[in-house]
Structure 1
Amino acid sequence: MKKILKLYACCCALWAILAAQPLSSESPKSPQSSESLDEATFELVNLYQQKGIASVQEKLESYLLSVPYWLKVVGQRDVSYGYFQHTRYVFVSNKALPDLRLFKVTKQGFELLGDSSALVAKGKGHKKLEGDLTTPIGVYDLTARLSNLPPYYGPLAFATDYPNTYDRSLKRTGSGIWIHGLPLDGNREELNTKGCIAIDNEILKKYDGLVDYRDSIVIISEGELRTMSSTQAAQILAGLYAWKEMWQKGNLAGYLKFYDQDNFIRQDGMRYKAFAEYKSRVFAKNEDKQIKISAIDIVPFPNEEGREMYRVNFQQDYQASLNGKVSFSSSHRKDLYVWINGGEMKILSEK
């Protein structure tokens, strides 16, 4: 059944390419007459005729490893605040000002829905410890809409997932980092929060009517955000699929090449050497692996190290089989924290 589904999917992809050819206003030509095909389509059809549909699938998948392919996908789209297939709304805060802006993700890039001043904590740099009175720097998912709160927090709040995987890998602690309002009685003497971002209540209620927290994120920087270019987005997308390709084919050396040997650390504290040894044992099982990635988001990730760093978040559907029997399967959203080094994607942490 799986082979049939793969064959069907590949045929659909081939048909999509053929269907993309411009239609002639003339009457259909007979099969014996020559038709105008672009070179790429001709090569695919020729490959299919000589070697069958599996070879076409392999060729199509090879395009996903190509930076030029992804540059065409990104096109003229503005990816300053990220490349999104999943997220629909992006909050952006510069805590040095401080401010909070809300953008809607569009096909062209971003539409600004609101821009306001904000209150943040007085601490500088990254939040490191519980109670250090610092607003974190990084990229965070919104995890809940909170209501019926003490009046001090205004009409509602959006909770974030601080500390995220990268924070945990660096042993950062703390909790309860929210985007919330101002006291309902209007009496707030403090100019700083304990770590949250606070904005005007009417603006917060407006945002509540626009966004769904389940497909929204917040980017928090200190100073001007280092934005992402189309080239950087394409390099990461091509790198992501190449990483998946090495994993799926059981190429351990190729797979580990994507991990930063000097700086990689998982949230459980495992560093590169122990991780490589662990993966070598897993790869030695010689399982057949099917890995699908989809709904990809890539977001510039503010950091104190000055790296061109990004959070890559995507849906991962994984299945491993041994001797024809499924040995493990999973389906979840996965995080990779990466940076670009010499044009190549290097993984710093993952979940």
Structure 2
Amino acid sequence: MKLHCKRYCYSLLAILALVPLSAAAMAEPNQWDHVSLALQNGQEAAVKNLSAQERLVLQATLALKTEKPAQALRLLASADKASDPLISLLEAEARRQQAIAAVREAGGSGKEVQMLASADLNSGLGEADARLNAFMDRLDPIEGDPVDILQPGPDVASIFMFDKARSRMFVYQPAKDGTLKKITDEYVVTGSVKGDKHHEGDGRTPNGVYRFIKKLQGKDLQPMYGPVAFPIDYPNELDQLHNKDGSGIWLHGYPMDVSRRPPQDTLGCFSLSNNRLLAMAKHVSLGKTWVVVGENLRFDNRSDKQQLTDSIKRDIEAWRRDWSSLNTDAYLSHYHKAFHSGNRNLAAWKSYKHRVNAGKTFIDINLSDLTLMHDPNRWPEGEVAVAEFVQHYRSNNFADASKKRLYLARPDAASPWKILLEESL
């Protein structure tokens, strides 16, 4: 069985390399003061939900962010190193900052300071960074619905959204009226290499819209993946159209003896701590839980969300209407030049549809149970959306009801959506 993630190890060599904390999400001084005060007072709900150890880690991380290494060391002195290897890395960073200050005070050369300042161990302390950033967001939480969940249909049980840039997982559950309930917003580990997955073994987590399709546990799952794992349907039809390959992209846990992992530490999977994975497993419904993966996901933009929803519905309705009219050329104008369905490209599809429609005296098409998702990523064809629905087809010589999935694409917001892929499910 191929390995899907690396087991992260806080080795002595890593500690001695003295990594600086990343400045990926530097805040203004007054923002740091706000976070520091909240951690000290402990009155905010986001703080009350922290363990004492996690609170110490966040306080020490903040002290290092604001170049107060002595304060960080005082905080970490009471922490339990045995249960949390991240403590040793934070201590190493504090001593690196102290060493830089000492060299400067002693009149050391710029070269010596530069050597200490350029030491890089971000793979270790990246987790401290990500956890502090996530805590800051919980103090001032991301409000509003995600733009990319446009219209969950009645068979959508939940949506798991993975933001690789934020190292965050958001889980939503749709209500019958279409509104979304946010279940969680928390730290998640993704692929060790940044960017979108293209090939087997490239270490990247794929961007796109997927579903959980299987549950692995017990004898089907090695202990290094935690108590349970949920594979997604990568590579899907859109991935295959773009010649992406690889497999085995899972949501899984940590090895049983690991309590911390940095933000980019798998070979392409999503990884949660084991207790959080078990808590979230009850929200997974195979085939009915959607997975949206991207970077810097957008929230609380009702205007953009409504415009996207309206534009996709308008163009799907035009496709349905032209199909029902038996105007085959008008119907085929809704297909993208790069269209595929199974083994048929656009030319083969046109030939097939002209042949089928020639024997029809009428066609009646109706759609129900529509789900619409927007892909947060840019594809070679431009912007992409996914539509699933039940298609009710009736003609003079055939009747059928089947589930269908369309991938639609457009180069820009001024252009109509065209059908890039069509699947019968």
The equivalent residue for 1:276 is 350
1:140 shift after superposition: 0.2
Identity among equivalent pairs (%): 28
3-state SS of the aligned residue for 1:255? helix
3-state SS of the aligned residue for 1:115? strand
- Kindly report the root-mean-square deviation, in angstroms, between the aligned alpha carbons of the 2 structures: 2.7
2:150 maps to a residue whose letter is G
The equivalent residue for 1:29 is none
* Structure with the larger helix share: 2
Tell me: CA distance 1:125–1:270, structure 2 relative to 1, closer, same or farther (3 Å).
farther
Greater C-alpha radius of gyration? 2
Picking from 85, 92, 96, the partner of 2:153 is 85
3-state SS of the aligned residue for 2:329? helix
Aligned-partner Cα distance in 2 for 1:144–1:239: 33
Tell me: CA distance 1:329–1:109, structure 2 relative to 1, closer, same or farther (3 Å).
closer
Aligned-partner Cα distance in 1 for 2:225–2:319: 44
3-state SS of the aligned residue for 1:195? coil
Once the two structures are superposed, residues 311-345 of structure 1 have per-residue CA deviations (whole angstroms, 9 ceiling, x without a partner) of 111122334443xxx3x745234233333652522
Question: Are 2:177 and 1:100 aligned?
Answer: no
Aligned-partner Cα distance in 2 for 1:79–1:134: 24
TM-score under structure 1 length normalisation: 0.69
Total equivalences in the alignment: 269
* Structure with the larger strand share: 1
Once the two structures are superposed, residues 163-190 of structure 1 have per-residue CA deviations (whole angstroms, 9 ceiling, x without a partner) of 1111111221121111111112327878
Tell me: CA distance 1:272–1:197, structure 2 relative to 1, closer, same or farther (3 Å).
same
1:237 maps to a residue whose letter is K
Q: Is the 8 A contact 2:360 2:395 kept in 1?
A: no
1:316 maps to a residue whose letter is Q
The equivalent residue for 1:30 is none
Aligned-partner Cα distance in 1 for 2:152–2:265: 32
Q: Is the 8 A contact 1:79 1:109 kept in 2?
A: no
Aligned-partner Cα distance in 1 for 2:298–2:347: 33
Question: Are 2:294 and 1:221 aligned?
Answer: yes
Question: Are 2:322 and 1:246 aligned?
Answer: yes
Structure 1 unaligned spans of 5+: 1-76
Q: Is the 8 A contact 2:259 2:273 kept in 1?
A: no
Picking from 322, 327, 335, the partner of 2:406 is 335
TM-score under structure 2 length normalisation: 0.57
| Alignment map for 1:106-145 (pairs within 5 Å) | 106=175, 107=177, 109-145=179-215
Tell me: CA distance 1:111–1:137, structure 2 relative to 1, closer, same or farther (3 Å).
same
Aligned-partner Cα distance in 2 for 1:136–1:187: 25
Aligned-partner Cα distance in 1 for 2:194–2:341: 24
The equivalent residue for 1:313 is 388
The equivalent residue for 1:206 is 279
Structure 2 unaligned spans of 5+: 1-143
2:406 maps to a residue whose letter is D
3-state SS of the aligned residue for 1:202? helix
Q: Is the 8 A contact 1:101 1:116 kept in 2?
A: yes
Tell me: CA distance 1:268–1:333, structure 2 relative to 1, closer, same or farther (3 Å).
closer
Tell me: CA distance 1:232–1:188, structure 2 relative to 1, closer, same or farther (3 Å).
closer
The equivalent residue for 2:84 is none
2:393 maps to a residue whose letter is Y
Tell me: CA distance 1:202–1:281, structure 2 relative to 1, closer, same or farther (3 Å).
same
